[in-house]
Amino acid sequence: MAARTHTLRVQVLPEDIDDLGHVNNVVYLSWCELAARAHSDRVGMTLPRLLELGTVAVARRHDIVYHVPALLGDEVEVCTELVSSQGIRARREYTLTRVADDKRLAECVTDWVWVDGVTGRPKRPDGRIIAAFGF
C-alpha cells in the first residue's frame, strides 16, 4: 500500500491568494498535480523514465469538493493515493488538510489516461510502471 500513497506539504504563498483573500481554486488543483508528480518520482517513475517506457499519464477529469478555504501562511498537507489502475485508465484521490488545525480543506479525484508519450494516443502502460505503484 505504501507505493500507492504519497504525502506532500506546501506553504500558502502570496501568489496563491485570489481577490477574495483565500487560496484560488485552481491552486488546489496545482498542488494535487505537484503531489502526483512527486509520488511518481518517489517510486522511480520520473517523466524521463515514463517516456523511456513509452507511456505517460494525462488528466481526463478532475472533481474537487472545497470545504474550508486555505489562507496566506497556512501549511497544507496534500495526501494522494493511486486507488485504481486498469488498462489505460487510472484514478487518484487527494485530501488537502490544513496542518495547524487538521481541517479538511478539499478533496479531489482525478481520472488519468495512459497515452503514448510521442503520439498522445491511448496506450496500456508497461507493467513496470504499474508495479512501481504497487499494483
First to last CA, the chain: 9
Judged by DSSP in three states, 31 sits in: helix
Dist CA 11 CA 88 (whole Å)? 34
Convert the pLDDT of each residue in 81-127 to its tens digit.
999 999 999 999 999 999 999 999 999 999 999 999 999 999 999 99
Domain covering 2-132: architecture: Roll (3.10)
Indicate the domain borders of the chain. Answer: 2-132
Return all residues near 40 (Cβ < 8 A) that are at least 6 apart: 46, 47, 50
Q: What is the pLDDT of residues 49-81, one digit of tens each?
A: 999 999 999 999 999 999 999 999 999 999 999
Which runs of E-coded beta strand occur in the chain? Answer: 5-11, 55-66, 75-86, 89-98, 103-116
